[in-house]
């Protein structure tokens, strides 16, 4: 009997979901960035995967999500950031991450809503891209590590998190958190990812049970998860703890409303149906 293959992004923000989920006994992991996981799920080389919410909405006729799993956030997320050297309203050229479709569409929506239409280019890299672009969109581990590298100290309060730094040659460097901008516009959470399977292949209840048990352990032992992830990324543990406890992992009613609102905002249909498992 082949293993049931889970597609997992090796991002710190996903770690509470699988840190205590052991491979074996019929389950195997396959790691990739969101764009790879999306493709593998449709191709059939993974059975159940965390997929970006925009990709799920775009392929809703082929995919169906679990009812109570998400990677969502209400307010700042800290790891979906536009780093920019010109003010938001003056952005003209932006380098986009190649790892995610959701964050890219969210950025485009936010800029379009403000009447802006900068030129976009897909590029791999970090802040060095700001030598050629006004802004660079980074997500996941690269974004949180880059942001941590700009901080001179860890803020005591979430209300003291800085958003403006000194960039190259002392010029301003702004960090725009896209989830926070979404919240300011809608007062809703933003759902970045859901667990989904192909519609023709319902998830085995035993696998879902193990996923729920692993999530409970992960959230109940968040300090241990944060310690492991902080060491892996080389960022302060206290920053990682705050980063992880900020997420919403249960796709509750406000999260579903946030997902529905995002679908409508970008001209897509919200199916609103989930596996009954």
pLDDT tens, residue by residue, 186-203: 999 999 999 999 999 999
pLDDT for position 168: 63
Strand partners, 165: 173
pLDDT for position 70: 97
Which of 39, 57, 48, 173 lies closest to 105 in space, CA to CA? 57
Q: Where is pLDDT greater, at 5 or 99?
A: 5
Query: Would you say 84 and 111 are in contact if contact means Cβ atoms under 8 Å apart?
Result: no
- At 266, list the tokens: 């970008």
Q: How confident is the model at residue 217 (pLDDT cuts 50, 70, 90)?
A: very high
Q: Is the pLDDT of residue 97 over 80?
A: no
Mean pLDDT for 143-160 is: 83
What contacts 43, CB < 8 A, 6 or more positions away?
A: none
pLDDT for position 1: 64
Angle at the Cα of 187 from the Cα atoms of 185 and 189, rounded to 5 degrees: 105
- At 113, list the tokens: 């809503």
CB atoms within 10 A of CB 216: 12
pTM, full prediction: 0.93
Q: Where is pLDDT greater, at 170 or 52?
A: 52
Averaged pLDDT of the chain: 93
Q: Where is pLDDT greater, at 98 or 238?
A: 238
Strands (E), 68-163: 71-73, 80-84, 93-96, 119-122, 135-139
C-alpha 198/C-alpha 124 separation (Å) is 30
- Please state, for a pLDDT cut of 70, what percent of the chain lies above it: 99
C-alpha 47/C-alpha 197 separation (Å) is 6
Q: Is the pLDDT of residue 99 over 80?
A: no
C-alpha 42/C-alpha 134 separation (Å) is 35
pLDDT for position 136: 95
H helices present in the chain, as ranges:
15-18, 34-43, 53-58, 102-113, 140-150, 178-186, 205-220, 222-233, 237-245, 253-265
Mean pLDDT for 47-70 is: 96
pLDDT for position 96: 92
- Longest distance between any two alpha carbons in the chain, whole Å: 60
């Amino acid at each position: 009997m082949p293993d049931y293959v889970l597609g997992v992004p090796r991002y710190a923000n996903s770690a509470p979901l699988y840190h205590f989920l052991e491979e074996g006994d019929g389950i195997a992991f396959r790691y990739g960035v969101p764009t790879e996981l999306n493709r593998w799920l449709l191709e059939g080389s993974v059975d159940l995967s965390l997929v970006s919410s925009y990709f799920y909405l775009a392929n809703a006729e082929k995919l169906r999500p679990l009812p109570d799993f998400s990677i969502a956030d209400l307010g700042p997320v800290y790891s979906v950031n536009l780093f920019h050297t010109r003010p938001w309203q003056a952005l003209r050229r932006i380098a986009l991450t190649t790892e995610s479709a959701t964050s890219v569409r969210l950025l485009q929506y936010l800029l379009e809503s403000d009447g802006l239409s900068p030129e976009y280019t897909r590029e791999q890299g970090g802040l060095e891209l700001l030598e050629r672009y006004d802004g660079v969109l980074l997500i996941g581990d690269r974004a949180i590590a880059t942001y941590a590298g700009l901080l001179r100290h860890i803020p005591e309060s979430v209300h003291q998190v800085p958003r403006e730094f000194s960039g190259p040659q002392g010029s301003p460097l702004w960090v725009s958190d896209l989830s926070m901008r979404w919240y300011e516009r809608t007062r809703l959470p933003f759902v970045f990812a859901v667990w989904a399977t192909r519609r023709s292949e319902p998830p085995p209840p035993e696998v879902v049970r193990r996923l729920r048990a692993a999530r409970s352990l992960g959230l109940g032992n968040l300090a241990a998860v944060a310690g492991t992830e902080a060491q892996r990324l080389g960022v302060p543990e206290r920053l990682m703890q705050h980063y992880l406890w900020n997420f919403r992992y249960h796709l509750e009613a406000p999260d579903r409303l946030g997902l529905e609102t995002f679908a409508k905002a970008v001209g897509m249909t919200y199916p609103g149906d989930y596996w009954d498992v």
